[in-house]
Amino acid sequence: MSDRKRKDKVLLIYTGGTIGMVQDESGALQPFAMERIYDALPLLHRTNYIIDSCQLERIIDSSNMTPEFWVDIANIIEKRYDDYDGFVVLHGTDTMAYTASALSFMFKNLTKPIVLTGSQLPLGMLRSDGRENIICALEIASSQHMLIPEVTIFFESHLYRGNRSTKVSAENFDAFSSFNYPSLAKAGIKISYKPNLFLPVPTGELKVRKAFDRRIAVLKLFPGITPSVVQSIVCIPNLQGLIIETFGSGNAPTEPWFIEALQDALDKGIIVFNVTQCKAGAVQMRQYQASCDMDRIGVIGGHDITIEAAVTKLMYLLGNFPDDKDKVRDRLSKSLRGEISTDIHEDCEDL
Ligand code: ASP
């Protein structure tokens, strides 16, 4: 077949989540097998691109997501990378932003779209948002109109950069948002793309890195937090990384016991990463006195990173540089896949 006539091909990968769920006898929602997606959506046979499908060996509620599943998804895509123009991953909404972030770091020099989507209502239900989400995600991944060389999330008319996205609603159809980066496309009567916001198409060879180090913790600060809570986290055996979810532009208590606990962590070689609890805006160390001590002792500022991207980036960097904490620290401050707004866009060859 000549290249002009060749139909685009998309691989649809089902991982679980509400989109493919049915009710069991007790009324609880449970995942079911992939073939049902075609029963629920016969329209899929009418698209003008070819859709193949597969599913993870074990389909899950995404609350059970782990780095091992990220590797399973990446393996499927890597093995069939040359055979398809794009990939759609059907995923539960609860941890979709984590998976999208993790995949964005794993795939260096990505030149094909990987679009994650899911739904708030099961596909089998009359008012399901899943139909629209899947069809738009497939169209975007089929690259018919525009090549988006990124891992993205499509949900309720918006296409977001995956590592900028956050689940914001447990009930509305527009369940996701991207507070610190505009959406890459909007689906109305037509899908309107904003190519000036896409990552540039890379020229290097695709590399897929699959190492993650799970030995991290997230400590969310709150007024009244006690020394024993902070110290008990710092004392976790073999902890390698600690994300502190701070107030506002990266602020934390200035009390000596708090800074001493962080100093203890740093002395043990634990990387301490400062990520704001605010949905929009960025950590700016030294803007207030309440972040000066952290900056002085070597806590790393997370800029405007989401917590989902922070968790996965830290696991990814620790997994890939197990013996080089300086590199982990250095790369945390740089944008690897457009996950933070910074002028530092050095190409980190090793990542
Ligand atoms: N608990 C489900 C999941 O994340 C919710 C959903 O799919 O929206 O797998």
What ligand 1 atom has the least distance to the C-alpha of 21?
Answer: 7
pLDDT value at 288 more than 70: yes
Convert 200-209 to b/e letters by CB count within 10 Å (16 or more is b).
Answer: eeeeeeeebb
Decide if 131 contacts 41 (C-beta within 8 A). yes
Please enumerate in sequence order all residues whose Cβ is within 8 A of that of 259, keeping only pairs 6 or more positions apart, or say none. 293, 294, 297
What's the CA gap between 15 and 347, in Å, rounded?
Answer: 32
Cβ of 133 closer than 6 Å to ligand 1, yes or no, is no
As a dihedral over the C-alpha atoms of residue 64, residue 59, residue 105, residue 185, rounded to 10 degrees, the angle is -110
The structure tokens 């018919």 sit at: 144
* Rg from Cα positions in the chain: 21
Report, as an integer, the average pLDDT of 255-264.
97
Q: How far is the CA of 93 from the centre of ligand 1 (A)?
A: 5
What ligand 1 atom has the least distance to the C-alpha of 96?
Answer: 4
Question: What is the pLDDT at residue 1?
Answer: 46
Question: What is the pLDDT at residue 42?
Answer: 83
Tell me if residue 247 falls in helix, strand or coil: strand
In order of their start, the domains of the chain are 3-208 (3.40.50.1170), 216-332 (3.40.50.40)
Q: Which of the four pLDDT bands, split at 50, 70 and 90, describes residue 21? A: confident
Q: Which of the four pLDDT bands, split at 50, 70 and 90, describes residue 29? A: confident
Helical residues (DSSP H) of 155-288, grouped into ranges: 227-234, 256-267
pLDDT value at 2 more than 50: no
Closest residue to atom 3 of ligand 1, CA basis: 92
Q: How far is the CA of 94 from the centre of ligand 1 (A)?
A: 5
Q: Which residues are catalytic?
A: 18
> Is the CA virtual torsion 116, 119, 123, 126 positive or negative?
negative
Cβ of 20 closer than 6 Å to ligand 1, yes or no, is no
What ligand 1 atom has the least distance to the C-alpha of 120?
Answer: 8
pLDDT value at 289 more than 50: yes
What's the CA gap between 14 and 9, in Å, rounded?
Answer: 16
Question: What is the pLDDT at residue 347?
Answer: 60
Q: How far is the CA of 8 from the centre of ligand 1 (A)?
A: 29
pLDDT tens digits for 204-239?
999 999 999 999 999 999 999 999 999 999 999 999
Q: Phi and psi (nearest 5°) for 193?
A: -95, 150
Looking at per-residue pLDDT, the higher value among 332 and 44 belongs to 332
Looking at residue 331, its amino acid is R
Q: Mutate which of 23, 56, 61 to test ligand 1's pocket (most atoms within 8 Å of Cβ)?
A: 61
Structure tokens at 91: 């995923």
Q: Mutate which of 58, 69, 94 to test ligand 1's pocket (most atoms within 8 Å of Cβ)?
A: 94
pLDDT value at 24 more than 90: no
Looking at per-residue pLDDT, the higher value among 210 and 31 belongs to 210
β-pairing, 191-193 vs 114-117, is unpaired
Helical residues (DSSP H) of the chain, grouped into ranges: 35-40, 67-79, 96-106, 130-141, 227-234, 256-267, 289-297, 307-320, 325-332
What's the CA gap between 46 and 12, in Å, rounded?
Answer: 15
Tell me if residue 34 falls in helix, strand or coil: coil
Q: Mutate which of 58, 60, 62 to test ligand 1's pocket (most atoms within 8 Å of Cβ)?
A: 62
Q: Which of the four pLDDT bands, split at 50, 70 and 90, describes residue 4? A: low
Question: What is the pLDDT at residue 284?
Answer: 94
Decide if 55 contacts 45 (C-beta within 8 A). no
Q: Phi and psi (nearest 5°) for 114?
A: -120, 110
Question: What is the pLDDT at residue 346?
Answer: 57
Lowest mean pLDDT among 40-44, 148-152, 163-167: 40-44
What's the CA gap between 319 and 152, in Å, rounded?
Answer: 23
Cβ of 63 closer than 6 Å to ligand 1, yes or no, is yes
Convert 125-150 to b/e letters by CB count within 10 Å (16 or more is b).
Answer: eeebbbbbbbbbbbbbbbbbeebbbb
3-state helix/strand/coil string of 99-116? HHHHHHHHEECCCCCEEE
Counting residues of the chain whose pLDDT is more than 70, the rounded percentage is: 93
What's the CA gap between 193 and 159, in Å, rounded?
Answer: 9
pLDDT tens digits for 182-191?
999 999 999 9
What ligand 1 atom has the least distance to the C-alpha of 60?
Answer: 9
Listed ranges 4-18, 66-80, 114-128; the one with the highest mean pLDDT: 66-80
Question: What is the pLDDT at residue 10?
Answer: 95
Tell me if residue 281 falls in helix, strand or coil: coil
Contacts 24+ apart (CB under 8 A), 29-32: 29/122, 31/59, 31/60, 31/61, 32/59
